[in-house]
Structure 1
Amino acid sequence: MSAAADVSAFAPVSLAEAGAAFEGLSRETALLVAVSGGPDSIALLALLAAWVQSPGRPPLHAVTVDHGLRPESAEEAATVAAFCATLGIGHATLRWEGLKPTSGLQAEARRARYALLANEARRLGGATLVTAHTLDDQAETMLMRLARGSGPSGLAGMRGRSAVNGVALVRPLLGIPKARLVTTADARGLPFVRDPSNADRRFERVRWRETMPVLAEQGLTAERLGRLAERMARLDEAAAQRARDVLAEAMLPDEGADNGLRLRFSRLAAEPEEILLRVLALALDAVAPGGDGHGRLERLEACGAALMDAARAGLALRRTLSGCVLSLGRDGVLTLQLEPPRRRGVHPSAS
């Protein structure tokens, strides 16, 4: 790597560069930026505060979630509030109340945090939530999902725009390395704190973060993982659209399906396996929206393979998956219906 590349990799984010990253936010009704007090979110806050000064930009609000996991968290939230006051930005501190779990703490804290953030966005009249996720966060997410056996959708990583708890969520800095945001905060003299939990090896993300320099030596850099996420997202979007089209073409009248779905399975079987699996996933969602989800990808793959084998042999097959009963008849019609209560899991039952 050249010296020039070294310098640019850690250069502060300019207002012009930030403006390009924020361009898509111009049409939002209001913005709610999540600020933990760390350098990433403090830099994002300062850049957004400057950006919204131009005419026609949406109003900006800030929020800090105090998880109550460290004695210093309340003081850190107060520091963020004071900084917001100097910027003329309204700020709210939200607290995660109640007992904290002894296991799966980070995952539970994340769920609680996004629930609080979404409620605040709704309170502000439908504000768009903005977070400071960086290229490094994307790379760590990719590695964690890869280790868990994620499929193409999971390996698309975090999306630049998505939804959480019914609220729009935008991550405008996904293409920018964390080091540049730290440099931005330092260069501007912004007040920020460093959360000691970011170095706590009890947490999976921290362990992957420590692995990143070793992987980078072999060429697996955050930049390349981020680029892979973009390519997988492109592939995922195309496959998702194809699956929606095939589902519509395979749909049969629902007579006798008891509010379920009836599909012409031969239409699904004519598609590549990836499309077949996605159509099954869409159908499961339609019958049992928000149920238990599809569980591990392997369970969906096993169900799809069993259906294909039965169809080729001209056999009937009955399986349960994700709160649904899937019944393939000898006539080639696949029926999906809600599973009766207290019967969950996947188990084959050929007839």
Structure 2
Amino acid sequence: MNDPLGGAEQAALFERWFVPRRHVLLAVSGGADSTALLVLAAEWADKRERPKLSVATVDHGLRAEAAEEIETVARIAADFELPHVRLAAPVGRKTKIESTARTLRYEALVAYAREIGADALATAHTLDDQAETVLMRLAAGSGPVGLAAMRQTVERGGVLHLRPFLGVPKARLIASLEQRVMRWSDDAMNADPAFARARLRAGRAALEREGLTHERLATLAFRMARVNAALDAAVDAAASAHVSEKGKGRIVAPAAAALPDEIKLRLLGRVVHEVGGGRVHLERLERLADRIVTEPQGAATLAGARVAWRPGGRIVAQPAPPRRGDGAGGRGGL
């Protein structure tokens, strides 16, 4: 069903995600999804005193057409009497454009939200985006955490990031704009096979014939999020029972060895992250866990932490010493 969003459904959606907030910054690129976010949210907010809405468009300086698209967004925002700003976040590097642009985009949006006193940031990620994220995580070899894909809400630097459309198919947002005779911009980069998401979109029909519909992939993400919540609760209990602090480090008691493998792995990952502060890659964490099980004693560095284990099963994690000036990792690094 690709009916437009409207009426009670439109109101219920924004009541759920926007009402508790006092000021929401809408991230609007000018594409169909984000234009729908701007239009539908503005229609709903027009009937309420709060929350206040503001609009921002991030310009990465990658396409000449972006200037005209930003002007279009500004005009639509002005039609609804909403403030709009262009945020410059140029992507200087030529590799990993997608990930670099994403990082810069969120940095710019969160910084501006804080500047204007917005307590929430809303983006227009759809059910289609969620499904594509699941496929990309599968291709990257992600575990349960990665397969939960995007969350409906996440905290970013003191600003709550909302994804109100995460359960809504993109086709319904397009239908909503067509019903209102609204125009939007099509970013040619979204169809460029140089980017992973574009390649996945090109293969959508073949995937759906095999049953890998967007709805089923999004359902998988929802179920994995539910699994992760249960596992996180188990790790919380395990940490309370088996982990103690020692200065800036952590000590994992030998009794933790009796925990189920997944709980032990997540507990180790949590300790490493708390001590080292770096991103803990699953494959490297699994290699470290295997060493701890198979080697009577040893030490290794991972994500800024030095992890040492001795006969008897006690594990000690401490901040890793600085790397040598030549940038070479120490022996035992992972």
AA in 2 matched with 1:294: V
Match for residue 285 of structure 2 among 297, 300, 307: 300
**Cα shift at 1:78:** 1.0
AA in 2 matched with 1:39: A
Answer whether contact 2:144 2:224 (CA < 8 A) is retained. yes
Task: Find the counterpart in structure 2 of residue 273 from structure 1.
Answer: 261
Q: Distance in 1 between matches of 2:200 and 2:254?
A: 42
AA in 1 matched with 2:299: R
**Cα shift at 1:89:** 1.0
Q: Distance in 2 between matches of 1:185 and 1:265?
A: 60
Task: Find the counterpart in structure 1 of residue 87 from structure 2.
Answer: 94
Task: Find the counterpart in structure 1 of residue 9 from structure 2.
Answer: 17
**Cα shift at 1:20:** 2.1
Task: Find the counterpart in structure 2 of residue 317 from structure 1.
Answer: 298
SS at match of 1:27: coil
Q: Distance in 2 between matches of 1:188 and 1:146?
A: 37
* Residues 1:27 and 2:12 are matched in the alignment: no
SS at match of 1:163: strand
Higher alpha-carbon deviation: 81-90 or 118-127? 118-127
Match for residue 214 of structure 2 among 210, 222, 233: 222
AA in 2 matched with 1:40: D
Higher alpha-carbon deviation: 224-233 or 239-248? 239-248
Match for residue 286 of structure 1 among 274, 277, 289: 274
Task: Find the counterpart in structure 1 of residue 171 from structure 2.
Answer: 179
Match for residue 98 of structure 2 among 85, 106, 118: 106
Task: Find the counterpart in structure 2 of residue 36 from structure 1.
Answer: 29
Higher alpha-carbon deviation: 114-123 or 338-347? 338-347
**Cα shift at 1:50:** 1.5
| Cα-to-partner distance string for 1:110-158 (whole Å, 9 max, x where unaligned) | 1111111011110121430001000110011000000000010000010
AA in 2 matched with 1:35: V
Overall identity of the aligned pairs, in %: 40
Q: Distance in 1 between matches of 2:157 and 2:331?
A: 32
TM-score, normalised with respect to structure 1: 0.89
* Residues 1:336 and 2:317 are matched in the alignment: yes
SS at match of 2:307: strand
| Cα-to-partner distance string for 1:250-288 (whole Å, 9 max, x where unaligned) | 12352xxx5211110322x22111111111111112112
| Cα-to-partner distance string for 1:312-346 (whole Å, 9 max, x where unaligned) | xxx32222211211111223221101111116769
Match for residue 205 of structure 2 among 198, 210, 213: 213
Task: Find the counterpart in structure 2 of residue 60 from structure 1.
Answer: 53
Answer whether contact 2:55 2:77 (CA < 8 A) is retained. yes
Q: Distance in 1 between matches of 2:245 and 2:104?
A: 41
| Cα-to-partner distance string for 1:72-106 (whole Å, 9 max, x where unaligned) | 11111011101111111111111124x62111112
SS at match of 2:58: strand
Aligned residues: 329
TM-score, normalised with respect to structure 2: 0.94
Task: Find the counterpart in structure 2 of residue 81 from structure 1.
Answer: 74
Answer whether contact 1:34 1:41 (CA < 8 A) is retained. yes
For structure 1, list consecutive stretches of 5 or more residues without a partner in the other structure. 1-7
Answer whether contact 2:24 2:119 (CA < 8 A) is retained. yes
Answer whether contact 1:11 1:184 (CA < 8 A) is retained. yes
AA in 2 matched with 1:337: Q
The structure-2 alpha-carbon separation of the partners of 1:253 and 1:27, relative to structure 1 and needing over 3 Å to count, comes to closer
Q: Distance in 2 between matches of 1:216 and 1:253?
A: 50
Task: Find the counterpart in structure 2 of residue 121 from structure 1.
Answer: 113
The structure-2 alpha-carbon separation of the partners of 1:347 and 1:244, relative to structure 1 and needing over 3 Å to count, comes to farther
Q: Distance in 2 between matches of 1:34 and 1:65?
A: 8
Match for residue 249 of structure 1 among 220, 229, 241: 241
**Cα shift at 1:18:** 2.1
| Cα-to-partner distance string for 1:6-50 (whole Å, 9 max, x where unaligned) | xx2x21112321222221321112101101111111111111111
Task: Find the counterpart in structure 1 of residue 133 from structure 2.
Answer: 141
For structure 2, list consecutive stretches of 5 or more residues without a partner in the other structure. none
Q: Distance in 2 between matches of 1:62 and 1:253?
A: 45
Answer whether contact 2:273 2:305 (CA < 8 A) is retained. no
**Cα shift at 1:219:** 0.8
AA in 1 matched with 2:284: R
Q: Distance in 1 between matches of 2:112 and 2:122?
A: 12
Higher alpha-carbon deviation: 222-231 or 280-289? 280-289
Runs of 4+ off more than 4 Å? 343-349
SS at match of 2:4: coil
Task: Find the counterpart in structure 1 of residue 43 from structure 2.
Answer: 50
Answer whether contact 2:25 2:118 (CA < 8 A) is retained. no
**Cα shift at 1:160:** 0.4
AA in 2 matched with 1:282: R
Answer whether contact 1:118 1:165 (CA < 8 A) is retained. yes
SS at match of 2:19: helix
